[in-house]
Structure 1
Amino acid sequence: MTPRDGSTRTDVLVIGGGPGGYVAAIRAAQRDRDVTLVEKDAYGGTCLNHGCIPSKAFITAADIAHDAENAAVMGIHADPTVDMAALADWKNDVVDRLTGGVEKLCKANQVTLLEGTATFADDHAARVAHSGDDGETATVEFEDCIVATGSRPIEIPGFSFADEDVWASRDALAAEERPDELVVVGAGYIGIELSTMFAKLGTDVTVVEMLDSALPAYDDDITRVVRSRAADLGVDFRFGEGASEWRESGRGIEVVTEAEDGETATYGADKVLVAVGREPVTDTLELDAIGLEPDDTGFLAIDDHARTALDHVYAVGDVAGEPMLAHKASAEGIVAAETIAGESVALDHRAIPAAVFTDPEIGTVGLTESEAVEAGVDPVVGEMPMRASGRALTMNESEGFVRLVGDGETGRLVGAQMVAPEASELIAEAGLAIELGATIDEVADTIHTHPTLSEATMEAAENAMQQAIHTLNR
């Protein structure tokens, strides 16, 4: 292809520098492709700058403060104070180190970085409007393109994120002062994680949810543990209520809710955090220019190679559909880059883990028992309660369980669900076992270090085989 006057040319154009985009860019460069990465905001995307990393930094700090304050049972007495401004500075330092690292890795792999917003001009060209006020644009011609523009928080009627008192998750994670009272609209994973965090920091939290439960994507026996712990922390759940409006009051703001029967309620607060979900960012790309159309929810359909309906255009991460997870985005980015390089690779969604950083944490991978039945599998199930784990007891964290689901015919592990301390770490073992096609008895035969939380996985496997030692067999 001969570049047009005033344009640049690249083998692979990546639009979006989040965990899907920058990983795809680096991998494509490692496969000897000339790569240009366009990012309009900050390298690392929402995850590193405004989501995964800052939320975990705040959650870790809140856990430390809460654990210290509640360690009297261990003979430890403390009354910690939290300097939110200093905490925010530390969080920002962590974010800056990681985002700076992403930029350095891209440059070290010879990825060309452009700051700006990319829109399609035609099938093999995109216009990049540079960041800033100069209004300059550049044209980038490409052979292949990977769309990784991510997602944004969903606004609801009457609650504009432009209003100072209405927070999106990004605003909550940029706070340098702790609100005394907070209303959270939405009891999904973002709402529950941040509700728990603020409650541990001393905020009075009210969660408003239209459905009749929290974390509706998970089974009730999992969410019940998390919901109970949150209630113990003082989180007030108001199920079956939808937020209809907010208004200023003499002492802050008021959030008005309405139930299905029309009954209304009012909750006072300093801020209202709207966390009802996220939507893909595809409307900024001018997809009409290349004849690509998202589905009704804004997602771009892809095949097992992350390829869209156009053979040379790929989509990875949140724009490519659920689950909206950073590690899923990275995996898709690698597949897209390696497919472009001519390698024989494909996406395998069987072993994509998910984690919710609540108290205790939730970790899942593969199929639940009911999903296994629906898939035609005759499941065998084993479970280990954390109250029987010596390590959990020494951590004063004995709520929850580890559950494994196996195929009764082949013995292979097909799923795992955990609600336990460090479940986000523990789930990796089950994911690896599923990826390798390991059987329940192979997991049980793997010697685990004692005393550790990971022993619960071994014990759950033994329980599935009716051979558990440290818990009653099912």
Structure 2
Amino acid sequence: MATKTYDAVVIGSGPGGYVAAIRLGQLGKKTALVEKEALGGVCINWGCIPSKALIAAANLVEDLRGAAERGITSEPKLDIAKLREFKDGVVKKMVGGIQVLEKGNKVDVIQGTATFVGPNAVEVDGGGEKTRLEAAAFIVATGARPVQIPGFEFDGKDVWSAKEAVDLPEVPKRLVVIGGGIIGLELGTVYAKLGSKVTVVEALPTILTGVDPEAVRLVQKSLKQREVAIHVNAKAKGLERKGGELVVKVEVDGKEQAIPCDKVLVAVGFRPNSEGIGLDKAGVKVGPKGFVEVNDRMQTSAPSVYCIGDLCGPPLLAHKASKEGEIAAEVIAGHKSVRDWVSMPAAIFTDPEVATVGLSEEQAKAQGYDPIVGKFFFSALGRAVAIAHTDGFVKVVGDRESKLLLGATIVGPEASDLIAEAALALEMGAYLEDVGLTVHAHPTLPEAFMEACKGALGEAIHRVNAPERPRKERSGAAAQA
């Protein structure tokens, strides 16, 4: 068995791993990146990137169908093969870009499956031929995989995971989506716009659990307008095949229902890929749910092993993994880097989009703040009216006494882009007035964030300001500050 020695070895090339390898290369470390499948991991190959390509295409189809009132009357025709080719081309371009970046930073990309044989060595199986890699430091970025549920095991034909759904094998006439979370609703919306009759089955009392209820109501309203059936408090109990069609057995509020369909998409979450890679042999502690325990420098219980991304716990976000990859690489290189962000933004690509960062009003209260809230509706914003996308709002939360910005929720057009300004403001410790005093270009969507911040202060220009609510006694950390 051949042996190669490196300063650092990264296992997994998703948005955490490939970024960590690039950063290590930038910092002058001799680095290897091990990947058993395609560079880019889930995010690039069948997650973030291809799903957003499909979402953009589905949005375009729907915009064209509804453009007659704007004087555009051509009816769009959907070519599934061409759309699939476009999506695959996007993925190929992104993977190629990662290859160029790794090479440009002198990172050795090694194809195969890595397994720890000790705290400073892994064996890589490249399809029969094994190579031993030794290093002073390892970054484990093996990510997560879709959860299966009994009776709905993925077969790639009738029962899809997100991977098969993003592959776009066909647009079924009837699609049942089990799971009313982010992935289920994003992909369910795509297929509804492309022509499927979609039914969502969610075991909890609401879809998008944990998201601002006002935002959820708008998403739910939008789904119903697209004739998507939504069952909450519903448990998928089994799947039957009858005469060429599928029947999903569902228990809703204790009563059984049968939902006929052509395909089933199971999107009930992801579990970490912590098994089978020899973490125990490296001395790495794994928690009861399979997540690896790390400190704020991304170090595990084994001094030589670091862990990033989905493998070390929620939130399971690609940009979180990338940031953690940079931190781990910098720590290995001797820099004083630490996981110290103020807040982590999140985006949901439903229709309308939903994006959040920082504290909600309820979370602010729980932390002892006396929150003030400012809201501005896109229906009052010139740019939103001009592009005919007026559903939604920007809601900001601030501290009543100091006027410090604490958080923001955006639901509406381009929310996933608009949240960046709020994230920057939070990271820099901005006050509501700071945003209000910042001149925003007109006519643009970000003006809604400015108006919401001014609204929290009672100074919004393009809405009637609500009267000041009676001041409440504050408690906890904020009261002691």
Task: Identify whether the pair has TM-score above 0.5, normalized to the shorter chain.
Answer: yes
SS where residue 431 of structure 1 aligns? helix
| 2:135 alignment partner, one of 142, 159, 165 | 142
Residues 284-293 or 458-467, more deviating:
284-293
Residue of structure 1 equivalent to 2:55: 59
Residue of structure 1 equivalent to 2:375: 383
| 1:199 is the counterpart of 2:189 | no
Alpha carbons 2:355, 2:411 under 8 Å: kept = yes
Q: How does 1:36-185 map to 2 (within 5 A)?
A: 36-130=32-126, 132=127, 135-162=128-155, 164-185=157-178
Alpha carbons 2:285, 2:300 under 8 Å: kept = no
Matches of 1:461 and 1:260, distance apart in 2? 41
| 1:239 is the counterpart of 2:235 | no
Alpha carbons 2:397, 2:407 under 8 Å: kept = yes
Deviations along 1:11-57, one digit per CA (max 9) or x if unpaired, are: 11100000000100010111111101000111011000000011000
Residue of structure 2 equivalent to 1:296: 288
| 1:267 is the counterpart of 2:259 | yes
Matches of 2:69 and 2:210, distance apart in 1? 35
SS where residue 73 of structure 2 aligns? coil
Alpha carbons 2:283, 2:301 under 8 Å: kept = no
Residues 198-207 or 401-410, more deviating:
401-410
Alpha carbons 2:35, 2:110 under 8 Å: kept = yes
Q: TM-score, normalised by structure 1?
A: 0.96
Residue of structure 2 equivalent to 1:428: 420
SS where residue 167 of structure 2 aligns? coil
Residues 279-288 or 57-66, more deviating:
279-288
| 1:255 is the counterpart of 2:280 | no
Matches of 2:19 and 2:440, distance apart in 1? 33
Q: TM-score, normalised by structure 2?
A: 0.95
Residue of structure 1 equivalent to 2:216: 223
Q: Which stretches in structure 2 are left out of the alignment for 5+ residues?
A: 467-481
Q: CA deviation at 1:410?
A: 2.7
| 1:462 alignment partner, one of 441, 447, 454 | 454
Q: CA deviation at 1:348?
A: 2.3
Residue of structure 1 equivalent to 2:323: 331
SS where residue 443 of structure 1 aligns? helix
Deviations along 1:110-145, one digit per CA (max 9) or x if unpaired, are: 001100111100011001111x4xx11111111001
Deviations along 1:319-346, one digit per CA (max 9) or x if unpaired, are: 0111111000000000000011111111
Deviations along 1:92-118, one digit per CA (max 9) or x if unpaired, are: 001000001101100110001100111
| 1:186 alignment partner, one of 179, 186, 193 | 179
Q: Give, as a single letter, the amino acid of the residue that structure 1 aligns with 2:188.
A: S
Matches of 1:337 and 1:230, distance apart in 2? 42
Matches of 1:372 and 1:100, distance apart in 2? 44
Q: Give, as a single letter, the amino acid of the residue that structure 1 aligns with 2:395.
A: R
| 1:471 is the counterpart of 2:463 | yes
SS where residue 91 of structure 2 aligns? helix
SS where residue 364 of structure 1 aligns? strand
Matches of 1:311 and 1:333, distance apart in 2? 17
Matches of 1:260 and 1:338, distance apart in 2? 51
Matches of 1:75 and 1:166, distance apart in 2? 41
Q: CA deviation at 1:407?
A: 2.2
| 1:22 alignment partner, one of 2, 18, 24 | 18
Matches of 1:348 and 1:361, distance apart in 2? 27
Matches of 2:228 and 2:398, distance apart in 1? 36
SS where residue 315 of structure 2 aligns? coil
Matches of 1:327 and 1:311, distance apart in 2? 25
Matches of 2:35 and 2:108, distance apart in 1? 11
Matches of 2:335 and 2:199, distance apart in 1? 51
Percentage of identical aligned residues: 45
Structure 1 residue runs of 4 or more that deviate by more than 4 Å after TM superposition: none
| 1:11 alignment partner, one of 7, 12, 17 | 7
Matches of 2:67 and 2:205, distance apart in 1? 33
Matches of 1:361 and 1:78, distance apart in 2? 26
Q: CA deviation at 1:260?
A: 4.7
